[in-house]
Amino acid sequence: VLSIRGIQEEDPPDAQLMRLDNMLLAEGVSGPEKRGRGGPMAVAATSGGCPNDNSIEHSDYRAKLSQIRQIYHSELEKYEQACSEFTTHVMNLLREQSRTRPISPKEIERMVNIIHGKFSTIQMQLKQSTCEAVMILRSRFLDARRKRRNFSKQATEVLNEYFYSHLSNPYPSEEAKEELAKKGGITVSQVSNWFGNKRIRYKKNMGKFQEEANIYAAKTAVDATNVVAQGNQANSPSTPNSGEWEPVERPDGFFCL
DNA sequence: TTTAATGATTAAAG
DNA sequence: CTTTAATCATTAAA
């Protein structure tokens, strides 16, 4: 079995292996056992998400992670043990043979290297599959898309009001976003997400939003700072302007329809 | 059950 | 950092 290989195994073994090791460490699989408190567990804080999900979900996640961790460590130990056992076994064989033929120390060393190479590739496979398991676990528990809930009527009302009353420039400032978030009972990130989605989806299929536009068109006052477009006030929403808000240059915040 | 709507994430560009 | 555009995953509607 110990053919003349093992020296030419993989050219970049360290590149991949370093990544796997780093990830396992970062994920707390291969690091020191952190029983009890001390969790600076950095959950992706980008999305507002529900404020009341940090009980069952998280502990469930940690339980599963600890399970993975256990398996990983026991397997790793098994490999270490098997490796050393096998090495000593081969050494014994070589010692026996050395009675009938001369065996150079170099040959022995080569043999040991081959064995260690073999076992380290197995170890690498273990790390690989462990990383996969962690990734799956992460996507299963920590992906906010899986916890998505529709906004309240109030929130969508507020957001749509702003959007359709600022159709010419639907980019709320940071302050405006905070205001909208407060009024709708959602986070600023969620407001940003909503506007990002709304803009692209409105632009992509304006006809689909005509009715919605009609509903919200009359409900809000025009931005006080833009007092320019008096003539376009009666802009009939049933004939959506084919131009977007982007292509027309907006030198100073003027209307661009 | 299939489809549409929708909030969140990602990559890429500024 | 922000945005667009594409995509993912869930929910509501058909």
**Burial level of A53, CB count in 10 A (0-12/13-18/19+)?**
exposed
Dump pLDDT digits (tens) for A151-162: 999 999 999 999
CA of A107 to C1' of B9 (A): 55
How distant is C1' of C10 from CA of A33, in Å?
A: 35
Give tens-digit pLDDT for A71-96: 999 999 999 999 999 999 999 999 99
pLDDT confidence of residue A48: 41
What confidence score (pLDDT) does residue A235 get? 45
Angle at A169 between CA A168 and CA A171, to 5 degrees: 155
pLDDT band at A6 (very low <50, low <70, confident <90, very high): very low
Q: Point out the least confidently predicted range of A61-75, A195-209, A226-240.
A: A226-240
- From CA A95, how far away is CA A153, in angstroms rounded? 81
Residues 116-175 of A with CB under 7 A from strand B: 143-145, 148-151, 156
The dihedral region occupied by A6, where left means phi > 0, alpha psi between -120 and 50, and beta the remainder, is: left
Distance A235 CA to B14 C1' (A): 32
**Whether the predicted model's global pTM rises above the 0.85 cut:** no
Residue A42 has pLDDT above 80, yes or no: no
CB A69 within 8 A of CB A150: no
Q: Name the nucleotide with the smallest C1'–CA separation from A199.
A: C4
Residue A124 has pLDDT above 60, yes or no: yes
Please tell me the distance from the alpha carbon of residue A121 to that of residue A42, in angstroms, as a whole number: 31
- Residue A70 has a pLDDT of 95
- Is residue A72 within 8 A of residue A130, CB to CB? The reply is yes
Q: If you average pLDDT over every residue of chain A, what do you get?
A: 80
pLDDT-derived band at A49, boundaries 50, 70, 90: very low
How far from A166 is each of A10, A188, A224, CA to CA, in Å?
59, 18, 11
Q: Which bases of strand C have any atom within 7 Å of the beta carbon of a protein residue?
A: 2-12
A10 CB closer than 7 A to any strand C atom? no
